[in-house]
């Protein structure tokens, strides 16, 4: 068995974009097994892939707000111990940032990552034993696949990337009626679609006897979802869900409408038709 450590910490879309590379690797060379360092808020995602043995959560986003507390609490020491527990045949940083490259220092094994011309932060390449050139201007999925194939020594398949997710296994019980998901929440205000348009779209779908489900992740998104749904039959504001719970809802949907958000990438990974709205960006 060949043991690989993948460092891809965030964000949700970027984590999802790394899944096809794992599928390529195990198809090319059976016996590859992966551990994955990922931000704690996305730690559910790697476990969905059958080639992942161990998920190692990291909390860089939280720790950088209070680094002293992270050190004094023992969380940082515990993370360093976990990442150093095993020796790896390869350590791959698929993030290409200084914060992710720094983490390779604590892992045991030869490190691979994007070279200075390929990485988002060029200085990250100084941390790797073997920097690898991967041309820019490609979809993130393809760049990670190329990085893996070069690092692990196999020919990348010419076919489209396979995320390796079992949609049927993730799907919850069938709703009994067509459902469209509205991914209306996003981090940046510039990426929002006007609330009035969401409401009008919901009304048009209800007229066609199509249900609408509205997820949310914070109080602001919940309030927006409730305003969109107000007085409309077949329009449901979902409860607060974990990522695995959300994946189950997405897997059972007929389609999704999304702004620029990681949940839109999740729909693509599960092969659920998704209309993505990038105009506001």
C-beta separation of 38 from 10 below 8 A: yes
d(CA 279, CA 281): 5
Q: Which CATH superfamily is domain 2-152 in?
A: Glycogen Phosphorylase B; (3.40.50.2000)
C-beta separation of 51 from 22 below 8 A: yes
d(CA 235, CA 254): 15
Q: What is the pLDDT at residue 280?
A: 54
167-276 shares the fold of 2-152:
yes
pLDDT in tens, the chain (281 residues): 699 999 999 999 999 999 999 999 999 999 999 999 999 999 999 999 999 999 999 999 999 989 888 888 999 999 999 999 999 999 999 999 999 999 999 999 999 999 999 999 999 999 999 999 999 999 999 999 999 999 999 999 999 999 999 999 999 777 778 999 999 999 888 899 999 999 999 999 999 999 999 999 999 999 999 999 999 999 999 999 999 999 999 999 999 999 999 999 999 999 999 999 987 54
d(CA 223, CA 85): 45
C-beta separation of 206 from 230 below 8 A: no
Domain extents in the chain: 2-152, 167-276
Q: What is the pLDDT at residue 228?
A: 98
Q: What is the pLDDT at residue 19?
A: 98
Candidates 3.40.50.150, 3.40.50.300, 3.40.50.2000, 3.40.1010.10; CATH matching 167-276: 3.40.50.2000
d(CA 25, CA 3): 12
Q: Could you tell me which residues come within 8 angstroms of residue 39 by beta carbon, excluding any fewer than 6 positions away?
A: 9, 10, 11, 57, 58, 59, 60, 61
Total-model pTM: 0.94
């Amino acid at each position: 068995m060949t043991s690989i450590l993948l460092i891809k910490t965030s964000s949700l879309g970027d984590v999802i974009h790394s899944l096809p590379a794992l599928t390529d690797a195990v198809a090319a060379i059976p016996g590859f097994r992966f551990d994955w360092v990922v931000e704690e808020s996305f730690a559910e995602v790697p476990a969905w892939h059958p080639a992942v043995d161990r998920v190692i959560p990291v909390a860089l986003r939280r720790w950088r707000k209070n680094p002293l507390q992270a050190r004094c609490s023992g969380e940082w020491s515990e993370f360093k111990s976990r990442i150093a527990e095993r020796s790896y045949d390869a350590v791959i940083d698929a993030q290409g940032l200084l914060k992710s490259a720094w983490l390779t220092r604590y892992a045991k094994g030869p490190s691979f990552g994007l070279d200075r011309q390929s990485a988002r932060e060029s200085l990250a390449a100084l941390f790797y034993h073997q920097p690898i050139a991967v041309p820019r201007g490609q979809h993130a999925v393809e760049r990670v696949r190329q990085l893996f194939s070069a690092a692990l020594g196999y020919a990348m398949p010419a076919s489209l990337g396979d995320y390796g997710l079992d949609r049927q296994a993730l799907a919850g019980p069938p709703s009994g009626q067509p459902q469209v998901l509205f991914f209306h929440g996003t981090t940046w205000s510039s990426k929002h679609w006007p609330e009035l348009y969401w409401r009008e779209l919901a009304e048009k779908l209800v007229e066609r006897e199509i249900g609408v489900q509205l997820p949310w992740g914070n109080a602001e998104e919940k309030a927006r979802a409730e305003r969109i749904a107000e007085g409309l039959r077949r329009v449901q504001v979902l409860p607060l869900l974990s990522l695995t719970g959300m994946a189950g809802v997405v897997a059972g949907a007929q389609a999704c409408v999304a702004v620029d958000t990681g949940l839109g990438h999740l729909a693509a990974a599960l092969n659920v038709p998704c209309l993505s709205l990038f105009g506001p960006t």
